[in-house]
Amino acid sequence: MTAPQTIAETDRFTVVIVGGGAAGISVAARLRKARPSLSIALIEPATTHAYQPGWTLVGAGVMPMRQTLRQEGGLIPSDVTWIRGAVETFQPDENAITLVDGRRIGYRRLVVCPGLQLDWDKIEGLRETLGKNGVCSNYSRDTAEYTWTCIQSLRGGVALFTQPPMPIKCAGAPQKILYLASDYWRKQGTLDRTQVEFNLAGDVLFGVGHFVPALQKMIDFYGAHVHYKENLIAVDGTTKTATFSVVGPDGTTSNVTRTFDMLHVVPPQSAPDFIKNSPLSNTGGWVDVDPATLRHVRYDTIFGLGDAAGTTNAKTAAAVRAQAPVVVENLLASLDGKPVEGHYDGYGACPLTVSYGRVVLAEFLYGGKVAPSFPYDQRKPSRFAWMLKTKVFPSVYWNMMLTGRDVAIPHKVLDAEKAG
């Protein structure tokens, strides 16, 4: 158990890590193992750490919320100084950062991984009604359990599932819960009187074409309706109406209001404001790192990974698993004055829960190259992958990733013909 420490204004560490989520803890643990003598500080305001991939299962009644939460202090490796606070600004030319409370901390190397920001307020009326009136979201620790309440209490009617513009974390999560809810209603015998709709801002069901036919098959199986180019902009919980901005075939935009009995919302997402407003950001607001080395493109002393990174991989914990060793290797090389040679290939994974008991395990690299880890056609809904999602991955996360152990599950690029 690591206790938060009081830091003097001028404190300086060899490595400072911003954010103690999946990425920050993984990097801290690996650095501590690789070089026990390093002075490392981790800056994280929250006292509870969440295994967010579990929230899809919480929303579907498969995993209790408490199983996705642990005390942050119990995860930070011993001898890593926990600075319980939030970073506000970066002074990269001085190798320093400043916290919201005014403390200034210096570093020789900085790792930036504060995750992404959920922009709930971009949807008018959502804050007032989220968590009641049938409006739920698996994207919040406060409302994922309410998703399960909504699913169980719906006895027919209209169920809307939304997906905002990309990038978002775990791009498959908006539809995972649609499948699980539909499967539950099918088993209850109420699916035939439930109109299930997937309203998504994009124009494809899933970003990697290889998996789309398998997912479309599940959409058809449950009789769901997909509405492309529909972006949720307002919710009124009392009248149970949701308004979408819709791009028509001629490119013009109009608003459409739909009524619902249940609404599962995935909020718009962006880089955290303090990153957007910093010299570290790229034009999209994300941490401007080289996609292979994960080193900042302008500041040699800075590395970035996880959801905040301005890379085109799927923003997932699976990506973090592949990124953390690269960041650690390159950071240590740079400290030693050696070239940075570790390369991240863009690996990310999305276990799509297409029913209770079966998962389509999408694994891919930069450019949507399909890269399975297991020797079967991963487009096929599989019980094995369900077991991975519900049992193996949580255990790998807590017991291997966050403790800095290697997870030797190599993926292999599928040749273009098979992937086609």
Ligand X SMILES: Cc1cc2nc3c(=O)[nH]c(=O)nc-3n(C[C@H](O)[C@H](O)[C@H](O)COP(=O)(O)OP(=O)(O)OC[C@H]3O[C@@H](n4cnc5c(N)ncnc54)[C@H](O)[C@@H]3O)c2cc1C
Q: Active-site residue numbers?
A: 170, 350
Q: How far is the CB of 102 from ligand X (least distance, A)?
A: 14
Q: How far is the CB of 392 from ligand X (least distance, A)?
A: 12
Nearer to ligand X, 140 or 243 (CB): 140
Q: How far is the CB of 306 from ligand X (least distance, A)?
A: 2
d(Cα 60, Cα 181) in Å, to the nearest integer? 7
| Identity of the amino acid at 51 | Y
d(Cα 72, Cα 65) in Å, to the nearest integer? 16
d(Cα 338, Cα 293) in Å, to the nearest integer? 13
Nearer to ligand X, 188 or 345 (CB): 345
Residue 319: C-alpha distances to residues 183, 308, 324, 340, 396 (Å): 28, 12, 9, 20, 14
Residue 249 burial (CB count, 10 A): 6
d(Cα 242, Cα 235) in Å, to the nearest integer? 5
Tokens standing for 47?
């006292």
Nearer to ligand X, 293 or 316 (CB): 316
Q: How far is the CB of 18 from ligand X (least distance, A)?
A: 5
d(Cα 367, Cα 207) in Å, to the nearest integer? 10
Q: How far is the CB of 335 from ligand X (least distance, A)?
A: 22
d(Cα 41, Cα 185) in Å, to the nearest integer? 48
DSSP class of residue 100 equals T
Nearer to ligand X, 59 or 246 (CB): 59
Name the 3-class secondary structure at 169.
strand
* Residue numbers at the binding site for ligand X (CB under 6 A): 18-24, 43-46, 52-53, 55-56, 86-87, 113-115, 138-139, 169-170, 173, 272, 274, 306-308, 315-318, 320, 349, 351
Tokens standing for 133?
């009136």
By Cβ distance, which residue is nearest to ligand X?
Answer: 21
Distance of CA 33 to the CA centre of its chain: 26
Nearer to ligand X, 21 or 381 (CB): 21
Tokens standing for 191?
């699916």
Q: Exposed, middle or buried, 420 (CB in 10 Å: 0-12/13-18/19+)?
A: exposed
Distance of CA 269 to the CA centre of its chain: 10
Nearer to ligand X, 22 or 135 (CB): 22
Q: How far is the CB of 185 from ligand X (least distance, A)?
A: 20
